[in-house]
Amino acid sequence: MKYKILYTLLVLVAFAFGCKETTFDEASKGEALGAFTATAPANNTMLVLNSATPGKTIVISWTAAKPGVNTAPTYKWVVALKSGAIDQPILEFPSDNGGKAATLTLTQKQLDDALKAKGIADGAKADLIWRVIADNGSLKVNGETFNISVTRFGDGVSNFILYGPVSSANVTTINPILTAQSLNFKWQKSFAGKVGANVTYKVKFIKPDGSFTTPLFEFTSNNSGLDSNLSVSYKDFDAKLTAAGFADQSAIATLKWSVEASSGTFTKFSDYTNDISVLRDVSLFMVGDASEFGWDNGNPTHMFRDATNRGAYIYTGYLNVGDFKFITVVGSWETQYGNNGSNGVALKAKGSDPDPGTYHVATAGFYTVKIDINALTFSIAPYSVAGATTYASIGIIGNFNDWADITAMSKSSFNSHIWVITQTIAANTEMKFRIASGWDVNWGVAANADAKYGKTTINAGNLSVKAGTYKILFNDLTGDYIFYNK
């Protein structure tokens, strides 16, 4: 037994003295390089270099290639003629950050200079192919090959922005028959890329979801397109809207506008677009000491409208002894209608025009006043109120207040038959005018297509009213009503 133990000890001693220390290099010597994908520009991009913006950048980008164990890759962008081979490039650019970034940023001038050096003529289009190559010193990985066309510097226009009218929720109201008043559009001047060349402009209009490549309509700017502004008369703008399908002048036309600048064969739109909303429905208001509020143009007497003739306005009610005329915008004397000297109609279209004359009321009482701003006709005739009911209360009632109690309207001591209220209607509704209680006396219409003005009759059908905030007027003598947008 002791010989067996001794033998085992000898074996262990021999094994210990027979081993020597060995050092292992644990670092891997192999390399690898993963695939990557180009992200911009898209295949078949058509790039037109703008001689007026040489410093504008072009960015080529791709996903990063997964590197090997030790060495990160570097990248280069190679470009060849489409008629040639990508393995025989005419241009090579290392990527940003000394070739380490997965992007390449070039100015338009850098790319133009490189193409010029290869014999591509000024303004000529070069059909090219390109790809990105990743290289870690051991391996090269080629990206996919893409098509691109690049047009060298020729004609060009610089970037520019719009000045106004600026985008706003406000509605611009225009009188569609006026040629003396204009909508005015202004923008920053753009400069041509070629010395001595001109830039011309077109102002283009689209619906909010439209495209400026296919505009609804357009205007050449002032001075045959050379000026960086446009003045277009109300009448001409109305004609363009009507031709573009906006036939209803009482509906708000919501548009976007932009400017296209051109020099030679090069065109460019403004950097931004603006919104504009236009209402071509002319309101008319009476002012003068014959009317309820005198010559206060900030608080005039609202006229009613003739539903069958959109140029005709009517007022049936009380007038004092005195004079009156008409304005189209509350608080402004800019546009006026008045007496032409023979009880016809004279128009003051802009502030520099002379004021028209006034119409005179010799005897206080009830009258019907009619004026047609298209036909330029005027009439005033006494109106008999004999037998007319003077109501204690009239209001509006409809879906908006659950057809319960009326929402009461107001009347003044000056005119006991014209009722007024400013009301917000949250959702489209049906509505009628009614006395305070009971349905024996109510006013409606036989048929109504969301009309904002017209004539009611006793116990007729409901009015259809769109959501909005309105100043509503009702005349119980004639049944006339009107909704003024607030």
- In tens, the pLDDT along 94-131 reads 999 999 999 999 999 999 999 999 999 989 999 999 99
Beta bridge partners of residue 434, listed in sequence order: 395, 442
190, 260: one domain: yes
Residue 264, Ramachandran bin (φ over 0: left; ψ between -120 and 50: alpha; else beta): left
User: Do 260 and 171 share a structural domain?
Assistant: yes
Per-residue pLDDT tens for 69-96?
Answer: 678 899 999 999 999 999 999 999 999 9
Mode of pairing for the β-strands spanning 274-279 and 172-173: parallel
Query: In terms of domains, do 137 and 215 share one?
Result: no
- Does residue 256 sit in the same domain as residue 174? yes
Name residue 399's amino acid.
N
The pLDDT, as a whole number, for residue 19 is: 40
HSE-CB of 85 using CA atoms within 13 angstroms: 2
Same-domain pairing of 357 and 464: no
For residue 419 the two structure tokens come to 């009722």
pLDDT for the residue 449: 59
Q: Which of 151, 180, 211 is the last residue in one of the domains? A: 151
- What is the reported pLDDT for 38? 94
Single out the residue in 255, 279, 303 at which a domain terminates: 279
**CA quadruple 232, 236, 238, 240: dihedral positive or negative?**
negative
pTM, two decimal places: 0.64
Q: Total domain count for the chain? A: 4
Instruction: Look at residue 450 in the predicted model and tell me its pLDDT.
Output: 65
Confidence of residue 248 (pLDDT cuts 50, 70, 90): confident
Any idea what the CATH number is for the domain that residue 402 is in?
2.60.40.3620
Tell me the C-alpha distance between 21 and 477, whole Å.
119
Who wins on pLDDT, 74 or 173? 74
Q: Give the 3-state secondary structure percentages of the chain, helix then strand then coil, rounded to 5.
A: 10, 40, 50
Residue 176 banded pLDDT, cuts 50, 70, 90: confident
Same domain, yes or no: 259 and 166 = yes
**Nearest to residue 50, comparing CAs of 150, 148, 127?**
150
pLDDT value at residue 11: 38
Phi then psi for residue 110, to 5 deg, are -60, -45
Proportion of the chain above pLDDT 70, given as a percent: 93
In single-letter form, the type of residue at position 96 comes to: D
* Total residue length of the chain: 486
Q: Which two tokens stand for residue 87?
A: 């393995």
Assign 18 to helix, strand or coil: helix
Residue 394 has pLDDT above 90, yes or no: yes
Domain boundary among 382, 415, 449: 382
d(CA 123, CA 226): 23
- Kindly tell me the sign of the dihedral angle through the C-alpha atoms of 47, 56, 185, 167: positive
Of 68-82, 150-164, 213-227, where does mean pLDDT reach its minimum? 68-82
Predicted confidence (pLDDT) at residue 25 exceeds the cutoff of 90: no
In which element (H, E) is residue 167 found?
Answer: none
Average pLDDT over residues 137-146: 93
Calculate the average pLDDT of the chain: 90
Q: How confident is the model at residue 23 (pLDDT cuts 50, 70, 90)?
A: very low
Q: Is residue 387 part of a domain?
A: no
pLDDT of residue 42: 95
CB neighbours of residue 456 within 10 Å: 23
3-state secondary structure of 166: coil
Residue 311 lies in a domain: yes
Question: Domain span at residue 216?
Answer: 162-279
**C-alpha distances in Å from residue 10, one per residue of 15, 20, 21, 62, 278:** 9, 18, 21, 68, 110
Contact between 462 and 432 under an 8 Å Cβ cutoff? The reply is yes
